[in-house]
Amino acid sequence: MKTIKNWQFIKNHNHRIDIACEHGFQLHIFVLENDILRVAFTQNNEFKLPHTWAIAPNQSDVDWQGRDKWSLEGFSCPDYNIKQTEKTLEISTALLKVTLHQPLYLEWEYKQDGEWKPLFTDRKTGAYLMGISNTEVSHYLQRDIEEHYYGLGEKTGNLNRHGRRFEMRNLDAMGYNAEYTDPLYKHIPFYITHNPDVSYGLYYDNLAPCWFILGSEIDNYHAYYRSYKAEDGNLDYYVILGPKILDVTKKYCQLTGGTIFGPKWSLGYSGSTMHYTDAPDAQEQLKKFVDLCNKHSIPCDSFQLSSGYTSINGKRYVFNWNHNKVPHPEKMTQYFHEAGMKLAANIKPCLLQDHPRYQEVENLGLFIKDSESEHPERSMFWDDEGSHLDFTNMNTVNWWKNNVKKQLLDYGIDSTWNDNNEFEIWDNYARCHYFGKGMPVKLLRPLQPLLMMKSSYEAQLEHAPNKRPYLISRSGSPGMNRYVQTWSGDNRTSWNTLRYNIKMGLGMSLSGLYNVGHDVGGFSGNKPDPELFVRWVQNGVMHPRFTIHSWNDDKTVNEPWMYPEITNIIRDAIQLRYSLMPYLYNTLWKAYHDYEPMLRPTFLDHEHDINTFEENDDYLFGKDLLVASVVEPNQRIRNVYLPQNFVGWYDFYTHKWFNGGEKITADAPLERIPLFLRAGSVIPMTRKGHKNTSSDDYRELLIMPFINQGERNITIFDDDGESFDYLKGKYLKLDIHLKCTSQTIELILEKSGDYFPQYTEINFSFPKNEKREFIINGKLAYRNYKMSLLN
């Protein structure tokens, strides 16, 4: 490793400043937006991996062969200034300024109120280290002990990453410890730095394994520092100015293509367990699940078909139906569909060496190849060795899409569950096709699951062009947000997992992965006891993805009715989720349309309140619903800090109003967890009792008014929940202006769009003790007023 010290300005052209450095390296600074700049090093003006699949500004997608790393397409490329002195080069936009110093380190500033202020600075005693005799690259920055670091996707431990060391290397970490285990499944090399004055993000666009050292290391010869180090690839990073944490998250999500707008049923309860499809009578076990949901009045929208349906002698073989277990797949899917449930089938990107179609696939040349021969690479996979499909080969993509359609979708399967896709290939120089150009897997391992998702996505879209695809993926990299819903992998049953999975989900959400959840009840380990199961379900229903899924060590099955003495509590929790489904769906719409996170740490909307930065177990679902999960046994009351929002909060159940900025003691009987609604909110709801999202025929707007006076604009969206017709104007959008005075609650409500839902009127409800007059669109209305949607 050599420290890059000396540099020389070459030229400024087309929003790129080129600078010559030592040892044949070049530094390039790209001016992309007033608040986004990019810094990249090349050697001989070439990127080792010449394309990116992460960068897709403004909800665009990326071609199969990637986006040229030199491209500026999709960026506004604003005006900027350059100023050079003997030892510095200064580049500034309207909001960001970077100064190159000699010897090389970068100093960053941002403009606030017309004045340039410090943002961050590279380590002055060596910022950029490049491998001369090896392939490593490193970036060192100064560190302030008061800084908070958030993000890095799916990581264990506290939400604030300061003081930790993390590795990005996709692993199948079954049964991980949610407080300590690292690495895990995903590769998200992005984090946010926050200090009391400003926040900014750093995204390193490199798919090679890497490490982030965020305060766990000190060195006598250097001031406090933090660092990024990668095994290979180029040092290529984006600086994203907030100034708020929420701004950084939204801009990063937009930079990587936004959030897929999945169907409404993807937010419903999705049943799953390894047990059913592993059973010799899998089809009967699966039908029994449908019957038991009906028997126990458990709402359910889908079921995730674990890989046992593909088994031969206990091992898994993708695109193979075990007809002994599932003699009639079409009849099975029909049974689910008649009950209003969809099916998502588990698929894996590795063929075991005795797979019935292994030779066919090898002859077609669709596998990643061994580093030293023309044979397929061999890796451990599901109790045997197998070979991984190469999704950088378009022939593989077409083979995969054809099989998804013929082996799954044609049978009535509705969705793909892309699983075990970490591509754990330990031969770092195993050769990928890379669209005919060749590339070692170590440079693009996380790309393989991303292209696997894209393949499955396109297969579903080609099969049903006007149905919005729903996909699930465990592993992935930046850009996966464009295709899938995800979850935190194979967690282990414990109270500690429940607590730290909350933080893990919030970390993913801050990293642009908004549509997330966890295996409720724990995937591995012994079954949860009744109390833990209740608390996990109550937490799980307050996540975008809600799935009870297990492969318990003690051969038990996590099911809503697993403990008869608490089945009524489980049912109530799931029915509560369904009553809030219009609100949840609106948060999904805002994630897609406005880049708004669905799960939100309490500080995300309340940065002014320093107390919200203390590590806690609370979070917001959307901007208006505060969830205070119970994550300790035997807890029947719970201290809850209500963020200072200047308008207060209502208890969801009693409608009692509380001041913001207070710590209260909330009741937390086993039957429920504390929930609070922000004053000044309008919550779209439906009534309890629906079997699934498609049977929703009622709409209510719960108005939680300002306690004295205040105004707010709110938008509520609805459509058929399944098609792309909303792009053709077939949606229902309610634009609401809420105004409260000491005497009145006034609503101005305008509707737009050509969609007519099953419900034909809107009902309005208020806190139980609310006495003010209700005025809607300028007219006095009764408390039981109903507004027709047919006019």
Task: Kindly report, residue by residue over 400-445, the tens digit of the pLDDT.
Answer: 999 999 999 999 999 999 999 999 999 999 999 999 999 999 999 9
Q: Give the CATH class of 2-51+83-256.
A: mainly beta
Q: CATH topology of 2-51+83-256 equal to that of 599-678? A: yes
Parse the chain into domains and list their residue ranges: 2-51+83-256, 301-487, 599-678, 696-788
pLDDT given at position 201:
98
CA distances from 272 to 177, 193, 263, 404, 721 (A): 22, 38, 19, 20, 22
pLDDT given at position 690:
87
pLDDT given at position 692:
95
Q: How far apart, in whole angstroms, are the C-alpha atoms of residue 272 and residue 548?
A: 6
Q: How far apart, in whole angstroms, are the C-alpha atoms of residue 489 and residue 472?
A: 11
Three-state SS for 337? helix
Backbone angles phi, psi at 767, to 5 degrees: -55, 150
Largest pairwise CA distance in the chain: 81
pLDDT given at position 226:
98
Three-state SS for 605? helix
CB 595, CB 259: distance < 8 Å: yes
Q: Kindly give the pairing relationship between strand 657-658 and strand 649-651.
A: antiparallel
Backbone angles phi, psi at 40, to 5 degrees: -140, 140
pLDDT given at position 179:
98
Q: Which residue has the tokens 């699983």?
A: 419
Residues of the chain predicted below pLDDT 70: none
pLDDT given at position 1:
85
Rg (CA), the chain: 27
Q: Is the full-model pTM beyond 0.95?
A: yes
- One of 2.60.40.1180, 3.40.440.10, 2.40.160.20, 1.10.1740.10 is the CATH number of 599-678, namely 2.60.40.1180
pLDDT in tens, 12-39: 999 999 999 999 999 999 999 999 999 9
Q: How far apart, in whole angstroms, are the C-alpha atoms of residue 155 and residue 152?
A: 7
pLDDT in tens, 564-604: 999 999 999 999 999 999 999 999 999 999 999 999 999 99
Q: How far apart, in whole angstroms, are the C-alpha atoms of residue 206 and residue 47?
A: 11
Q: How far apart, in whole angstroms, are the C-alpha atoms of residue 69 and residue 417?
A: 31
The total number of residues shown for the chain amounts to 791
Task: Copy the structure tokens of residue 709.
Answer: 């006076």
Q: What is the arrangement of strands in the sheet containing 599-600, beginning at the earlier edge strand?
A: 599-600, 618-621, 625-628, 675-678, 649-651, 657-658
- Which CATH architecture is the domain 301-487 placed in? Alpha-Beta Barrel (3.20)
Three-state SS for 270? strand
List of residues 6+ apart from 41 with CB closer than 8 A: 4, 21, 25, 26, 27, 28, 128, 130, 137, 234, 235, 236
**786 class by beta-carbon count within 10 Å (0-12 exposed, 13-18 middle, 19+ buried):** middle
pLDDT given at position 710:
97
Q: How far apart, in whole angstroms, are the C-alpha atoms of residue 221 and residue 218?
A: 9
Look up the CATH superfamily of 696-788: Golgi alpha-mannosidase II (2.60.40.1180)
